[in-house]
Amino acid sequence: MKHLHSDFALNFAIGFLSLLLLILMVGLFSRIVYPRIITERSGEQTHLISQIIQIEVLNGCGAPGIASDYTRKLRANGFDVVDSGNFDNFDVRQTMIIDRAGNRENAQKIARALGIDESRIIEESSDDFYLDATVVIGADYDQLKL
């Protein structure tokens, strides 16, 4: 009888672990085959972002915690914020986006999400950067959409 009980427990554990493995494989497969699709709000229109845009957020105005605040807000809106911190100085009056990958369309999506004019997109693409864009939060942060 004891042998039967241990066989049942072993079979149950194998079955449970197999099911868990199957669930994890389905999750991985769906993540690779079907990229994350999120909505971007711009006025009353809804657009889909099917590509993950990797950005860094830098505090350019000196307001305490502003880079962290906008990191959370941008992540909540589907952007992959890979780094945050302080800009070279705290004299930035208007928020700007630095296009690091040469993909203006991604920079424009960020500008629309923040509600800033596309004229504040600066192109500084380089193969040395591991991200799509840098967002430098300026003194106008209280006027941004997010």
SS3 120: helix
Residue ranges making up the domain that contains 11: 1-34
Report pLDDT digits (tens) over 58-93.
999 999 999 999 999 999 998 999 999 999 999 999
Report pLDDT digits (tens) over 97-137.
999 988 999 999 999 999 999 999 999 987 777 899 999 99
End-to-end Cα spacing for the chain? 65
Co-location of 17 and 55 in the same domain: no
Strands (E), 27-146: 38-42, 45-49, 54-59, 80-86, 96-99, 121-123, 133-137
CATH number, residue 106: 3.30.70
Number of domains in the chain: 2
Co-location of 122 and 82 in the same domain: yes
Co-location of 64 and 114 in the same domain: yes
Report pLDDT digits (tens) over 3-50.
656 788 888 889 999 999 998 888 776 665 555 544 444 444 444 444
Co-location of 116 and 101 in the same domain: yes
Longest dimension (CA), the chain: 78
Co-location of 17 and 49 in the same domain: no
Co-location of 61 and 128 in the same domain: yes
